[in-house]
Every structure is written in structure tokens, then in C-alpha cells.
Amino acid sequence: MRILIVEDEKPLSNVLCELLKKSGYAVDAVYDGVEGLEYALSDVFDVILLDIMLPKMNGLDMLNELRKQGISTPVLLLTAKSEIEDKVEGLDCGADDYITKPFSTEELLARIRSVSRRKDVFVSDDQKFGDIMINKNTLKISTERDEIKVSLKEYHILEMLVEHPKQIISKEQFVDRIWGYEFEGEYNSVEVYISFVRKKLSALGSKVKIKAHRGVGYSLEVVDD
């Protein structure tokens, strides 16, 4: 597996390179957002480790451009910022996960394994439910009038609900399928992504709604006006 590191702190970048190489990964490292974008657009990487605070082009701008160009490579944000607003902004830009500095070696490797499992998901066609269509290849939710891009985890949340429209999906089921058994976070991460998806369905004016079943999970339904 090949990993791109976009990190302007060269001592940290060097440490990450050595760590990942010892773990069996092929690694390329660059130190600013412009060069990072150039490398990432080659679409030869399996995972991108991306710092937010970068010279020439910040990490979020680079990520936005990457997704606009149709590159779906999983992105793990590296950030010294712990505020929830920064994490939400990164996820909304199309990041698949984030890790806050300082982080442990074990956590970093676990998160890389987790996001790398997502890359091979882009293989099938549209799925329809109610007035929406979801597409794995484009990571878009569309209606007859509009469409909107979603992050990979947002897509998987909605995909699970679309695939089981009459079933209640528990938080544990979402975590097992989307985050994997190495997940060490809090289950409210599911609530955060559910909130993201709800906002995007609302922005589209869709009649499809995610219904919460208190203490049980979530299901998908069509609500007529």
C-alpha cells in the first residue's frame, strides 16, 4: 500500500515516513499544499495523511480541490487543533477521518488501516430510495432538481439505511461496518455523521428522512408534506 504524507513539519514528516516504512508501507512525503495536490492528483495513493496548516495552500483547500477533481483517495487529517468546528469543517470537505496531534503510533496505524479499507468501495452503481439516488462512484446524493457531494463515511451511513429501509440500524452496526473493529472513539461519532447526512438531505429538499429510535438506532423513511 502506498501512502502520501503532506506535512510541513519536516521532523514529524521524517518520523512518520520511518514509522510507515517499518510497517511495510511505501511512502512519499511533500511539505506544502500545492505540491501535495499535484502528487495526490496522480491518483496512485491508497491513503493520504494531510496536515491542515500548510504553506502555499492549506490542507482543507487542497482537499476541496482534490474532491472536485474526482479523486476519492481516503484522507486522514493530521491536525493540532482539537476544536470540534475544525474537525467538522474537515469532514465536510471530504475527509474520511481525523487524528489530533499528538497521537500514538498504535492509533495512527489503526486509523490508516480503517480508512484504507474504504477505498475499494467505489465499485457499483446507483441505489434509489424515495426521491433520492445515491452513487458510490461519485459520492453524491441526487434528486431530480439537485445533487450534493458527501464524505465517504456520510455515504456509508446513508448506504446502510438505503439497503435496509425497513430495518432499524443500531449505532453498533454502523461502527462495525464503517469504522471497523479497531474503532476506539465514542459512539456519538455516529450521531455526528447522522446529523451531517440529515442536513444534506434537507438541503436537497428531499422527502427522505432519517428517523431516530431512542436507545435502539435509526431507520429511513419517506415523509410526505
Q: Around 37, how many Cα atoms within 13 Å sit in the side-chain half-sphere?
A: 20
91 and 9 share a domain?
Answer: yes
Residue with grid cell 430495518, as numbered in its chain: 167
Domain limits for position 212: 122-222
154 and 109 share a domain?
Answer: no
State mean pLDDT over 66-93: 78
Which pLDDT score, from 0 to 100, does residue 198 have? Answer: 95
Q: How far apart are CA 18 and CA 96, in angstroms?
A: 24
Q: Does the pLDDT value for residue 182 go beyond 70?
A: no
Cβ proximity of 139 and 152 under 8 Å: yes
**Where residue 186 falls among pLDDT bands split at 50, 70, 90?**
low
Which pLDDT score, from 0 to 100, does residue 175 have? Answer: 80
Report the phi/psi class of residue 94: left, alpha or beta, with left for phi > 0 and alpha for psi in -120 to 50: left
State mean pLDDT over 198-204: 95
- Stretch among 9-23, 105-119, 167-181, 194-208 having the lowest mean pLDDT: 167-181
Residue after which a domain boundary falls, among 102, 120, 138: 120
Residue 193's CATH number = 1.10.10.10
130 and 114 share a domain?
Answer: no
Mind listing the pLDDT tens digit for each residue in 95-121?
A: 888 888 888 888 889 889 888 876 554
107 and 168 share a domain?
Answer: no
6 and 116 share a domain?
Answer: yes
Cβ proximity of 28 and 4 under 8 Å: yes
Give the total number of structural domains in the chain.
2
**Where residue 43 falls among pLDDT bands split at 50, 70, 90?**
confident
- Grid coordinates given for 169: 440500524
